[in-house]
């Protein structure tokens, strides 16, 4: 079960939970599961533009097929730009 | 679109003739004029390059005075050993005009004729009693530097008139000048405040004569008689310098702009007057007969 | 009306036609294809367009093209002699004194002018002499080292 | 001897032959002799000159534009306005930098209904000379309805503020403004219990800073030359941080497919993030199409200031608490960032970086992205992080003073390390923060005595560093020399680093490796030069491509020797036979194998294309000594030391150069640089004279210490180094000034009038 962490800004979308465990093999499955558990979640994290999986920050658009390990830690983050 | 001309006369008479044409502008070092043209602030129709006129291009020292051609580039002034010996404050001011590159072109005459209140050489010239030599269709005339500019961007030159150079009287014995300016960086800025001071001491070290001028704190560079009064009769001691500083702060009539505030410029006017006066006293004590 | 100007550029007799209000920088770059001299500001504040005019360091953006009639100009293209680069050029390379390189020609021209009149400048003299040349990449550190090292090399010292 | 390429060993165990040496960069000779061609150095026969007409109002509705008088001018070949461009829908821009939206981008390139900042492009002209183009711009008549401009964060957020984008609504986390506002987004992040954290603290410090909009200040103005054929295909030469970005963005703005545009990156005269989007490129393409002739645009310095992408002005509040023994208990930050005329400030990155160096269980961070009538911000070196670090690091300094602790010790007590959960979420892998603190503490600089009116500041900084997509080809020439082709414009010596990595893998001298920056049709897709990613990510691709060609070389040798591939090793630029019978086959050099390439199957070309994962975060600790003139408020930087973890320094000179350059920019930002606007929103100091970047005489030598804690995710241990160096200096300078002058600061720049006022207030 991957553990998904919610920063304070996202907690209102998930009933105040700090983190939940989700059974998912990749990010696409994870988002589906989260959306099922918290209806509307997937569409409302639009501004969380990056996802960190086990410390690796991946732009949202690239992360869908990212594999998750059973002990993976997932965080939703704002987008970062570099100079 | 306007046609533009470039002329490089070799005589004052021909230059005066050209300068009588509407839209004619003197081109000396070009470091102000060309920038103003690029940014659209000035649209000259005739460039009158005066650098090929001998009277404007030389430095000469005689028994009476230093004769400084209006178009002499700053670098030549700074490199001149006699000018350094007699007028260290003027050299300090000239050396502050822009970068090394700018110094290769910019002239003292241009610095004055641009009529910026912040021009570095102007307070220094005023402090040493420099007089402008002006030629024009009606002949020559002399104007003290402090009376040359009338407002930002404005001066006493009439159509067809031309600044030929400066007559700077040889300093009396135990006389020295100093110039300081404040800028936020160490180089490449326009003065936020400039202070030029000249003092003459008697044999016992008491100041008998002084001139104090400030730049960038009024529409034109100003003389500060009250600061002079504080210095004359003193030996440049702390209390006298403090009185001169207070007089300069009081005399300053600055504006708030992107380069500094009123409060700041007033305060720094005093600080620089004090520091420049201290330097001038120090130099005058060690100065040999001019 | 265009003016016919005769000059010497890097030792070569050169002539060009120009409108009276064009800058030497524009002529060098757009007419003579000497694009080694760079434009950073066109107001004399960055030094990228530095050239030597009759042995004086100037910003070519602040020289009107007709002013160079009968004068001689040295640009970055004239600094290396044949297959021999100048010591300053070598030291800039050895010290990694350039990152993007846009300011480099101006710095080399200005530094060369310094070393020609002062073979043993102090760090402070070097910094003030070069204050009219902006560099935004290096923090100047390696540039100053390169110039001081080139000066030592030209004096026959090893640092 | 191993049967595998050396590269499979951990980076820390490896014996380097070329990595860590300081060869002369391959493009260096062209750059010191004036031969290198930058953006403005290209010209084509029949070329026209482009000029942009820019809005003289910071906020105005455009009721109509009449270009007829301009078109009537002899020599004018084309005029375009917003109406010549397609409508572009709102869509997040990938592959660029920061939070760009293509709809906004299109409107930033040329205004449509509204001009949103002083300098916003309104029309563009192509003519036979620059002077005619300029004159034509003057003859274009624009009917403006001038609106009240919004010029500060406070004004933008005020009730009844004029609204820039009437139909836009704030996004993010509630509470959000209802209805139209200048808030583009509001977000929150955090964890733990803030109230409890602060109640556990023995000391709480709260500080507030305002920082102005500042510019990257690259010396080369934006320049572009575009040529379009009768088939509608365009070739674009421009100085950019990303040729593929220019292609994608221009295609999007012009409604073209990507294959219609080829972008050839020229040498680039600095960018620092400022050349990560498009300005004149789409205009030049469209004008060249309309005029049927090449069109060249070069921005003036004034245009660069007014109409490119500086970074945000900010208003930041930070509160932190600590126990008596120096353990941080809680931290809170509220960050307001100016986005400029369109949404997308770097506040997101600021929220994530603000407390990243420290172990904190209780955190609350609130970030606001606010639009106002200033140029749209672009990336600037560690976008968003320096201003946030300024406030946190001044708070840390004040905590240290209040607790009577050494400022480095306080940071060491709370410094993050491997395994710690970052305040922005994930756990750190191997990082070198503690190592930078220790190196700074033991540096002679830290113990050097200080004089009267002098002070020493310490500050730390963090940046993520990026990976992203890169392609690389490594091909072997007939004589055994090599060519490395990548798609990243070289902004600070990256060609030398990439060549070093190829040399290391191939085992040939770096002088025999030629690194090339290719155009968009000569190499696979490559994300732009930015995010400190090139040496890391493109370097990874080069290493992979080189290993690919080494595999081929081993196979060729195996073929010649009639042995299995596994029996051939590659060492020091030669294929060696790992057989029981030494001396049977002499090793085959790269040159020998290259010479027999045709015989053994054809040319030797290694390829790699990857989306690099595992960028290692960069940490730095800086020391700064200043002297303050208490009568004028002038600050002199006396000494500066920058300590930073590079993972592995490939070419140490250019690593040092990044540290030094970032420090210089940071010092400028701290002391003098700022956008000054008049009451109508026109920038008053749009030139190098009054936008006061540091000159050579303003700075001391900048000492550097390269710490190397290898990034476990890179074959050589590389971390990006380009951005982190600008994060600490704002605070390092501020802390030094505060200690030297015994004042509390709350605003940048620490200009002489501002500091003198603070000194007078404190007396």
Residue A83 has pLDDT above 70, yes or no: no
Question: Do C92 and C109 form a contact (C-beta atoms < 8 A)?
Answer: no
Please name the residues in contact with B26: beta carbons below 8 A apart, sequence gap of 6 or more.
Answer: B15, B19, B33, B48, B50, B110, B113, B162, B163
For D422, name the nearest residue in chain A, comparing CA atoms only: A55
Which carries the bigger pLDDT value, residue B258 or residue D296? D296
**Which of B182, B188, B264 faces D689 most closely, judged by CB atoms?**
B188
Find which of B43, B96, B185 to mutate to test the D interface (most D CBs within 10 Å of its CB): B185
Residue D588 has pLDDT above 50, yes or no: yes
Please name the residues in contact with D199: beta carbons below 8 A apart, sequence gap of 6 or more.
Answer: none
Residue range C124-149: average pLDDT?
98
Residue C145 has pLDDT above 70, yes or no: yes
Give the confidence band of B3 by pLDDT, cuts at 50, 70, 90. confident
For D273, name the nearest residue in chain A, comparing CA atoms only: A83
Tally Cβ neighbours within 10 Å of residue C81: 9
Tokens of D147: 């609106």
Phi/psi for D296 (5° steps) reads -120, 135
Give the confidence band of D14 by pLDDT, cuts at 50, 70, 90. confident
Q: Please judge whether B267 and D756 are an interchain contact, meaning their C-beta atoms are less than 8 angstroms apart.
A: yes
Phi/psi for D456 (5° steps) reads -120, 130
Give the pLDDT confidence score for residue D213 in this predicted structure. 98
For residue D271, the chain A residues in CB contact (below 8 A) are 83
Question: Do B78 and B91 form a contact (C-beta atoms < 8 A)?
Answer: yes
Edge-to-edge strands, sheet with D454-463: D454-463, D618-628, D635-645, D702-707
Residue B268 has pLDDT above 70, yes or no: yes
Give the pLDDT confidence score for residue D3 in this predicted structure. 37
State the smallest CA–CA distance between residue B275 and chain D in angstroms: 11
Q: Is the dihedral of CA B126, B129, B134, B139 positive or negative?
A: positive
Q: Please judge whether D97 and A82 are an interchain contact, meaning their C-beta atoms are less than 8 angstroms apart.
A: yes
Residue range D299-321: average pLDDT?
98
Tokens of B45: 């129709």
Residue C132 has pLDDT above 80, yes or no: yes
Give the confidence band of D5 by pLDDT, cuts at 50, 70, 90. very low
3-class SS of residue B185: coil
Its ipTM equals 0.96
3-class SS of residue D127: strand
Q: Please judge whether D672 and B185 are an interchain contact, meaning their C-beta atoms are less than 8 angstroms apart.
A: yes
For residues B245 and D541, give the distance between their C-alpha atoms in angstroms, rounded to a whole number: 66
Q: What percent of chain D has pLDDT over 70?
A: 97
The residue whose two tokens read 């490395």 is D484
For residue D272, the chain A residues in CB contact (below 8 A) are 83
For residues D434 and D415, give the distance between their C-alpha atoms in angstroms, rounded to a whole number: 6
Please name the residues in contact with D137: beta carbons below 8 A apart, sequence gap of 6 or more.
Answer: D51, D52, D53, D70, D123, D125
Predicted confidence (pLDDT) per residue in B95-149, tens digit: 999 999 999 999 999 999 999 999 999 999 999 999 999 999 999 999 999 999 9
Cα within 13 Å of Cα(D354), Cβ side = 30
Question: Do C144 and C127 form a contact (C-beta atoms < 8 A)?
Answer: yes
Question: Do D378 and D98 form a contact (C-beta atoms < 8 A)?
Answer: yes
Please name the residues in contact with A15: beta carbons below 8 A apart, sequence gap of 6 or more.
Answer: A38
For residue C50, the chain B residues in CB contact (below 8 A) are 101
Q: Please judge whether A57 and D382 are an interchain contact, meaning their C-beta atoms are less than 8 angstroms apart.
A: no
Give the pLDDT confidence score for residue A76 in this predicted structure. 86
For residue D614, the chain A residues in CB contact (below 8 A) are 56
**Which of C76, C99, C123 faces D34 most closely, judged by CB atoms?**
C76
For residues D484 and D508, give the distance between their C-alpha atoms in angstroms, rounded to a whole number: 13
Tally Cβ neighbours within 10 Å of residue C156: 6
Predicted confidence (pLDDT) per residue in D545-573, tens digit: 999 999 999 999 999 999 999 999 999 99
State the smallest CA–CA distance between residue C59 and chain B in angstroms: 6
Residue D91 has pLDDT above 90, yes or no: no
Residue range D63-82: average pLDDT?
98
Give the confidence band of D583 by pLDDT, cuts at 50, 70, 90. low
Please name the residues in contact with D348: beta carbons below 8 A apart, sequence gap of 6 or more.
Answer: A49, A77, A78, A79, A80, D99, D187, D367, D369, D384
β-pair type (B193-201, B207-215): antiparallel
Give the pLDDT confidence score for residue A44 in this predicted structure. 75
For residues D708 and D715, give the distance between their C-alpha atoms in angstroms, rounded to a whole number: 14
State the count of interchain CB pairs (< 8 A) between C and D.
Answer: 183
**Which of C20, C57, C129 faces B6 most closely, judged by CB atoms?**
C20
B63 to B66, B67, B209: CA distances (angstroms)? 9, 11, 21
**Which of B8, B35, B75 faces C44 most closely, judged by CB atoms?**
B35
Which carries the bigger pLDDT value, residue D437 or residue C1? D437
Residue D581 has pLDDT above 60, yes or no: no
Q: Please judge whether B189 and D132 are an interchain contact, meaning their C-beta atoms are less than 8 angstroms apart.
A: no
Cis peptide before D533 (omega within 30 of 0): no
Find which of D74, D631, D677 to mutate to test the B interface (most B CBs within 10 Å of its CB): D631
Find which of D300, D668, D753 to mutate to test the B interface (most B CBs within 10 Å of its CB): D753
Give the confidence band of D646 by pLDDT, cuts at 50, 70, 90. very high
Give the range among B1-5, C40-44, D601-605 with minimum mean pLDDT.
Answer: B1-5
Please name the residues in contact with D85: beta carbons below 8 A apart, sequence gap of 6 or more.
Answer: D106, D109, D110, D112, D253, D254, D255, D282, D286
pTM of the model: 0.97
For residue B44, the chain C residues in CB contact (below 8 A) are 21
Q: For B59, which DSSP code?
A: E
Give the pLDDT confidence score for residue A7 in this predicted structure. 84
Give the confidence band of D172 by pLDDT, cuts at 50, 70, 90. confident
For residues A29 and A6, give the distance between their C-alpha atoms in angstroms, rounded to a whole number: 17
Give the pLDDT confidence score for residue D217 in this predicted structure. 98
Q: Please judge whether C1 and B98 are an interchain contact, meaning their C-beta atoms are less than 8 angstroms apart.
A: no
Give the pLDDT confidence score for residue C20 in this predicted structure. 96
Q: For D538, which DSSP code?
A: I
Q: By C-alpha distance, which of D158, D152, D303 is closest to D679? A: D152
Residue range B254-262: average pLDDT?
92
Predicted confidence (pLDDT) per residue in D682-699, tens digit: 999 999 999 999 999 999
- A with B: touching (≥3 Cβ pairs within 8 Å): no
Residue range A3-32: average pLDDT?
89
**Which of C43, C63, C64 faces B35 most closely, judged by CB atoms?**
C43
Question: Do D710 and D648 form a contact (C-beta atoms < 8 A)?
Answer: yes
CA angle D439, D445, D447 (to 5 degrees): 95
Query: What does the mean pLDDT of chain D come to?
Result: 95
Predicted confidence (pLDDT) per residue in C16-38, tens digit: 999 999 999 999 999 999 999 99
For residues D66 and D288, give the distance between their C-alpha atoms in angstroms, rounded to a whole number: 21
D83 to A44, A55, D67, D254, D271: CA distances (angstroms)? 34, 46, 12, 12, 30
Which carries the bigger pLDDT value, residue A63 or residue B23? B23
For residue D38, the chain C residues in CB contact (below 8 A) are 35, 38, 102
Q: Please judge whether C105 and D695 are an interchain contact, meaning their C-beta atoms are less than 8 angstroms apart.
A: no
β-pair type (D234-238, D223-228): antiparallel
Question: Do A73 and D427 form a contact (C-beta atoms < 8 A)?
Answer: yes
For residue C133, the chain B residues in CB contact (below 8 A) are 99
3-class SS of residue D403: helix
State the count of interchain CB pairs (< 8 A) between B and C.
Answer: 94
Please name the residues in contact with C157: beta carbons below 8 A apart, sequence gap of 6 or more.
Answer: none
Residue range B151-173: average pLDDT?
96
For residues D285 and D304, give the distance between their C-alpha atoms in angstroms, rounded to a whole number: 20
Interface partners of chain A (CB pairs < 8 Å, 3 or more) are D
For B34, name the nearest residue in chain C, comparing CA atoms only: C62
For residue C57, the chain B residues in CB contact (below 8 A) are 100-101, 104
Give the range among A27-31, C70-74, D46-50 with minimum mean pLDDT.
Answer: A27-31
Query: What does the mean pLDDT of chain A come to?
Result: 85
Give the confidence band of D10 by pLDDT, cuts at 50, 70, 90. low
The secondary structure of D650-666, three-state, reads CCHHHHHHHHHHHHHHH
State the count of interchain CB pairs (< 8 A) between A and D.
Answer: 120
Predicted confidence (pLDDT) per residue in D501-510, tens digit: 999 999 999 9
Beta bridge partners of D364: D190, D332
Give the pLDDT confidence score for residue A57 in this predicted structure. 87
Residue B165 has pLDDT above 70, yes or no: yes
For residues B109 and B134, give the distance between their C-alpha atoms in angstroms, rounded to a whole number: 11
Predicted confidence (pLDDT) per residue in B199-208, tens digit: 999 999 999 9
For residue D187, the chain A residues in CB contact (below 8 A) are 9, 47, 78
Q: Is the dihedral of CA B254, B256, B261, B262 positive or negative?
A: positive
Please name the residues in contact with D558: beta carbons below 8 A apart, sequence gap of 6 or more.
Answer: D564, D565, D567, D568
Predicted confidence (pLDDT) per residue in D407-425, tens digit: 999 999 999 999 999 999 9
C91 to D268, D492, D704: CA distances (angstroms)? 22, 17, 20
For residue C79, the chain D residues in CB contact (below 8 A) are 33-34
Give the pLDDT confidence score for residue D740 in this predicted structure. 98
Give the pLDDT confidence score for residue D7 in this predicted structure. 46
Give the confidence band of D514 by pLDDT, cuts at 50, 70, 90. very high
Q: For B195, which DSSP code?
A: E
Find which of B34, B195, B258, B275 to mutate to test the D interface (most D CBs within 10 Å of its CB): B258
- Residue C45: which H helix or E strand, with range? none
Residue D126 has pLDDT above 80, yes or no: yes
Tokens of B141: 């005339």
For residue C127, the chain D residues in CB contact (below 8 A) are 696-697, 699
Q: By C-alpha distance, which of D130, D164, D160 is closest to D147? A: D164
3-class SS of residue D346: coil
Give the range among B174-178, D93-97, D397-401, D590-594 with minimum mean pLDDT.
Answer: D93-97
Give the confidence band of A42 by pLDDT, cuts at 50, 70, 90. confident
Question: Do D244 and D520 form a contact (C-beta atoms < 8 A)?
Answer: yes
Question: Do C30 and C19 form a contact (C-beta atoms < 8 A)?
Answer: no
Question: Do B136 and B162 form a contact (C-beta atoms < 8 A)?
Answer: yes
Question: Do B181 and B191 form a contact (C-beta atoms < 8 A)?
Answer: yes
State the count of interchain CB pairs (< 8 A) between B and D.
Answer: 55
Give the pLDDT confidence score for residue D431 in this predicted structure. 97
Predicted confidence (pLDDT) per residue in B15-24, tens digit: 999 999 999 9
Predicted confidence (pLDDT) per residue in D141-161, tens digit: 999 999 999 999 999 999 999
State the smallest CA–CA distance between residue D57 and chain B in angstroms: 18
Residue A43 has pLDDT above 80, yes or no: no
For residues D591 and D476, give the distance between their C-alpha atoms in angstroms, rounded to a whole number: 9
Produce one character per residue of B159-172: b if its CB has 16 or more CB atoms within 10 Å, e if not: ebbbbbbbbbebbe
For residues D20 and B51, give the distance between their C-alpha atoms in angstroms, rounded to a whole number: 55
E strand spans, D464-519: 468-476, 482-486, 513-517
């Amino acid at each position: 079960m991957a553990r998904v962490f919610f920063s304070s800004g996202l907690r209102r979308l998930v009933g105040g939970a700090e983190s939940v465990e989700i059974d998912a093999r990749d990010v696409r499955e994870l988002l589906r599961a989260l959306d099922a558990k918290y209806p509307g979640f997937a569409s409302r994290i639009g501004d969380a533009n990056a996802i960190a999986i086990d410390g690796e920050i991946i732009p949202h658009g690239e992360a869908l097929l990212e594999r998750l390990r059973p002990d993976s830690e997932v965080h939703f983050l704002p987008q970062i730009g570099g100079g | 679109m306007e046609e533009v001309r470039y002329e490089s006369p070799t005589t004052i008479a021909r230059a005066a003739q050209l300068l009588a044409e509407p839209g004619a502008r003197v081109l000396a070092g070009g470091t102000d004029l060309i920038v103003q043209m690029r940014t659209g602030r000035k649209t000259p129709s005739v460039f009158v390059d005066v650098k090929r006129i001998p009277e404007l291009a030389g430095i000469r020292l005689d028994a009476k005075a230093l004769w400084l051609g209006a178009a002499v580039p700053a670098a030549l002034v700074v490199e001149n050993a006699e000018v350094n010996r007699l007028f260290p404050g003027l050299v300090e001011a000239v050396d502050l005009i822009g970068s090394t590159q700018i110094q290769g072109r910019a002239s003292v005459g241009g610095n004055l004729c641009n009529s910026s209140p912040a021009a570095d050489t102007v307070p220094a010239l005023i402090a040493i009693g420099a007089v402008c030599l002006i030629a024009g269709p009606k002949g020559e005339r002399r104007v003290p530097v402090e009376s040359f500019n009338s407002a930002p961007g404005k001066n006493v030159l009439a159509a067809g008139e031309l600044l030929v150079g400066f007559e700077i009287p040889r300093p009396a014995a135990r006389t020295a000048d100093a110039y300081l300016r404040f800028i936020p960086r160490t180089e490449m800025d326009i003065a936020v405040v400039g202070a030029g001071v000249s003092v003459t001491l008697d044999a016992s070290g008491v100041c008998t004569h002084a001139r104090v001028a400030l730049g960038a704190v009024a529409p034109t560079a100003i003389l500060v008689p009250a600061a002079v009064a504080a210095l004359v009769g003193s030996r440049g001691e702390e209390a006298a310098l403090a009185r001169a500083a207070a007089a300069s702060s009081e005399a300053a009539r600055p504006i708030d702009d992107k380069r500094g505030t009123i409060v700041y410029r007033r305060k720094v006017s005093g600080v620089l007057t004090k520091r420049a006066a201290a330097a001038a006293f120090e130099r005058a004590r060690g100065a040999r007969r001019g | 009306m265009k003016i016919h100007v005769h000059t010497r550029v890097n030792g070569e007799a050169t002539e060009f036609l120009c409108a009276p209000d064009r800058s030497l920088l524009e002529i060098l770059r757009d007419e003579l294809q000497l694009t080694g001299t760079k434009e950073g500001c066109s107001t004399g504040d960055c030094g990228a367009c530095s050239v030597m005019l009759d042995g004086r360091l100037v910003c070519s953006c602040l020289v009107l093209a007709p002013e160079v009639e009968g004068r001689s100009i040295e640009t970055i293209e004239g600094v290396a002699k044949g297959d021999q680069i100048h010591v300053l050029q070598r030291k800039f390379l050895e010290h990694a004194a350039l990152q993007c390189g846009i300011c480099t020609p101006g710095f080399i021209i200005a530094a060369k002018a310094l070393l020609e009149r002062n073979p043993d400048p102090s760090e402070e003299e070097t910094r003030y002499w070069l204050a009219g040349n902006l560099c935004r990449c290096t923090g100047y550190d390696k540039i100053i080292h390169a110039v001081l090292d080139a000066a030592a090399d030209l004096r026959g010292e090893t640092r | 001897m191993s049967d595998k390429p050396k590269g499979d060993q951990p980076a820390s165990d490896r014996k380097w032959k070329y990595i860590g040496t300081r060869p002369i960069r391959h493009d260096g000779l062209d750059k010191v002799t004036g031969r290198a061609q930058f953006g403005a150095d290209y010209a084509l026969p029949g070329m026209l000159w482009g000029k942009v007409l820019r809005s003289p109002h910071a906020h105005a509705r455009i009721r109509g534009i009449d270009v007829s008088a301009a078109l009537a001018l002899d020599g004018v070949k084309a005029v375009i306005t917003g109406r010549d461009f397609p409508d572009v829908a709102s869509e997040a821009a990938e592959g660029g930098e920061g939070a760009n939206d293509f709809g906004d981008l299109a409107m930033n390139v040329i205004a449509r209904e509204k001009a949103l900042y002083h300098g916003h492009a309104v029309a563009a002209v192509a003519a036979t000379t620059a002077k005619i183009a300029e004159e034509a711009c003057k003859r274009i008549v624009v009917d403006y309805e001038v609106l009240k401009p919004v010029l500060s964060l406070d004004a933008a957020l005020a009730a009844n503020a004029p609204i820039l984008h009437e139909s836009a609504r704030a996004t993010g986390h509630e509470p959000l403004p209802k209805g139209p506002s200048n808030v583009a987004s509001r977000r929150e992040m955090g964890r733990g219990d803030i109230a409890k954290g602060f109640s556990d603290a023995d000391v709480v410090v709260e500080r507030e800073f305002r920082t102005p909009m500042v510019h990257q200040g690259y010396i080369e103005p934006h320049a572009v030359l575009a040529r379009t054929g009768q088939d509608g295909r365009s070739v674009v030469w421009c100085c950019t941080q990303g040729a593929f970005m220019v292609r994608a963005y221009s295609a999007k703005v012009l409604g073209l497919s990507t294959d219609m545009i080829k972008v050839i990156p020229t040498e680039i005269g600095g960018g620092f993030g400022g050349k990560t989007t498009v300005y004149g490129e789409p205009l030049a393409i469209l004008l060249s199409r309309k005029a049927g002739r090449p069109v060249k645009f070069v921005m003036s310095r004034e245009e660069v200031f007014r109409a490119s992408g500086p970074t945000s002005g900010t208003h930041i509040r930070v509160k932190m608490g600590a126990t008596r023994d120096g353990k941080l208990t809680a931290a809170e930050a509220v960050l307001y960032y100016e986005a400029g005329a369109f949404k997308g400030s770097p506040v997101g990155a600021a929220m994530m970086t603000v407390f990243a160096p420290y172990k904190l269980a209780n955190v609350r961070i609130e970030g606001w992205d606010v639009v106002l009538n200033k140029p749209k911000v672009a990336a600037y070196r560690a976008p968003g992080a320096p201003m946030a670090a300024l406030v946190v690091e001044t708070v840390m300094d004040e905590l240290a003073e209040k607790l009577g602790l050494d400022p480095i010790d306080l940071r060491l007590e709370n410094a993050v390390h491997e395994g710690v959960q970052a305040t922005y979420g994930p756990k750190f892998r191997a990082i070198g923060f503690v190592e930078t603190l220790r190196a700074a503490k033991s540096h002679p600089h830290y113990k050097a005595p200080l004089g009267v009116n002098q002070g020493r500041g310490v500050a730390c900084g963090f940046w993520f560093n990026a990976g992203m997509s890169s392609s690389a080809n490594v091909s072997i020439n007939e004589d055994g020399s090599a060519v490395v082709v990548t798609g990243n414009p070289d902004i600070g010596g990256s060609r030398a680093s990439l060549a070093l990595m190829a040399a290391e893998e191939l085992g040939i001298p770096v002088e025999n490796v030629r690194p090339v920056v290719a155009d968009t049709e000569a190499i696979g897709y490559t994300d732009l030069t930015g995010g400190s990613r090139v040496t890391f990510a493109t370097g990874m691709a080069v290493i992979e491509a080189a290993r690919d060609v080494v595999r081929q070389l081993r196979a060729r040798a195996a073929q010649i020797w009639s042995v299995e591939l596994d029996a051939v090793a590659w060492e020091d630029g030669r294929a060696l036979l790992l057989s029981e019978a030494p001396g049977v086959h002499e090793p085959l050099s790269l040159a020998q194998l290259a010479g027999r390439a045709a015989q053994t199957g054809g040319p030797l070309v290694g390829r790699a294309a990857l989306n690099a994962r595992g960028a290692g975060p960069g940490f730095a600790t800086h020391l700064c000594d200043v002297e303050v003139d208490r009568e004028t408020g002038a600050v002199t930087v006396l000494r500066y030391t920058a300590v930073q973890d590079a993972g592995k320094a490939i070419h140490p000179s250019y690593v040092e150069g990044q540290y030094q350059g970032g420090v210089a920019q940071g010092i400028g930002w701290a002391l003098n640089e700022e956008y000054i606007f008049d009451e109508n929103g026109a920038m008053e100091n749009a030139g190098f004279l009054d936008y006061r970047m540091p000159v050579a005489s303003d700075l001391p030598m900048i000492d550097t210490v390269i710490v190397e804690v290898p990034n476990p995710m890179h074959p050589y241990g590389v971390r990006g180094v380009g951005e982190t160096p600008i994060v600490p200096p704002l605070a390092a300078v501020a802390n030094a000034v505060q200690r030297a002058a015994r004042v509390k600061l709350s605003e940048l720049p620490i200009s002489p009038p501002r500091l003198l006022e603070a000194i007078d207030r404190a007396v």
